[in-house]
Amino acid sequence: MPTLPSPLTLPCGVDLPNRLAKAAMSEQLGDVRTNAPTERLTRLYERWAAGGAGLLITGNVMVDRRALGEPRNVAVEDDRDMEALRAWAEASTQHGTQALVQINHPGRQSPRLLSRRPVAPSAVPIKGLQTAFAKPRTLTDAEIHEIIGRFARTADVVVRAGFTGVQIHGAHGYLVSQFLSPLTNQRQDAWGGDPERRRRFVIELVRAIRDEIGAQTPLSVKLNSADFQRGGFSEEESMAVVEALEAEGVDLLEISGGTYERAAMVGDLAEQRKSTREREAYFLEYARKVRERTTMPLMLTGGLRSADAMNAVLEEGAVDVIGLGRPMAVEPELPRELMSGAVAASGDKPQRIGIKRADALTDLVWHTQQLWRLGDGQEPDPKRTPAAALASWATTSARDSAARLRRG
């Protein structure tokens, strides 16, 4: 039976040295003026590559500088930042670690300060967040094809820079997820109207990227199990997408869930909190159902904290790779320590200020600021208060957004 130190060969033939992955977290360490990779990213990934994980997955790398989720996202459209990309890739693939670049387009989830008129499959605003996010306009057929081309070009550039492969971000309410959900995709053309046409966008992305990077380069997809909204992307539709992705030769499927409107990916739902207490994994039940339908390698991220629980999930065969997100922000050596037995579990705890509507954001920005410390060559600061992190984030975000506005 596989355990955390067991190697895994992906369908494309690439070997992961063990079953632990650093899951994607948006580092927000790109250059605010150019959205190029920075030395802070290189230092951060040097630290993570030395931490023992078999796989590192970067945070959002956007395929269009005009469409960002955050001011300091890295964006890759062409070869202009190849030197910085090569340094980042070299840092990420030390010690035998494999590294995937998560490529993404935010669609309607681009804040007003960054996109005054974002694009989406349909002109559906983000419910309850209209102050922060403008109503999108509907993409034309030509624009959809152009975005598919952008994904493929970005994949080609980062692989040539030295990264092992790429991951398409198809979860958390970003553009791919928007195409999949009937709530956000209300089209009645070749890109929407029924489940088959709604999943066409992600299938065309997989095909275009595969044409660029070849069959021997890992191609992963991060997919919502559901978006947890009435009338939205259902578990049944998600299962059909999984089967279609396997037919296209995807090498690794990462399971997640939720959108900005319902943030299940950070354990925001009551049932997910209960699941975390009982099983340590937000989406484990879904993973078990997926395993009944596919032999495609599966990665589960969210909630797992102890080596015993991780090994139990691997041994039962439900998933093949365990993703670690926020714990890696404060415990960059956690993979090695779990596999060696030096620690039994992560000591990372949620960071809250006691205001329900703000707690998920507070936890996110607190951990993001730990990434910034690692990028500066410092140690994490677990004693930093959540309130201080939130206040600092508000100031930094306002400054960075203003810089983007001045840049135009």
d(CA 159, CA 165): 6
pTM as predicted:
0.93
Q: Are 262 and 269 in contact, with CB atoms under 8 Å apart?
A: yes
Q: What tokens appear for 30 in the block?
A: 């790109």
CA distances, 175 to each of 103, 178, 293, 343 (Å): 11, 5, 26, 39
Quick: pLDDT tens for 273-282. Answer: 444 434 346 6
Q: Indicate if the alpha-carbon torsion angle 352, 358, 360, 361 is positive or negative.
A: negative
The residue ranking higher by pLDDT, 17 or 269, is 17
d(CA 118, CA 309): 41
Give the model's pLDDT for residue 360.
84
- Strand runs labelled E in 125-237: 137-138, 165-170, 219-224
Give the model's pLDDT for residue 129.
84
Give the model's pLDDT for residue 359.
86
Quick: pLDDT tens for 328-338. Answer: 999 999 999 99
Which domains, from first to last, does the chain contain?
8-351 (3.20.20.70)
Q: What tokens appear for 315 in the block?
A: 């041994």
Residue 268 pLDDT level (bands cut at 50, 70, 90): very low
d(CA 143, CA 317): 41
Give the model's pLDDT for residue 218.
98
Quick: pLDDT tens for 213-225. Answer: 999 999 999 998 7
CA distances, 212 to each of 244, 248, 289 (Å): 20, 14, 32
Give the model's pLDDT for residue 228.
54
Q: Are 392 and 381 in contact, with CB atoms under 8 Å apart?
A: no
Residue 85 pLDDT greater than 70, yes or no: yes
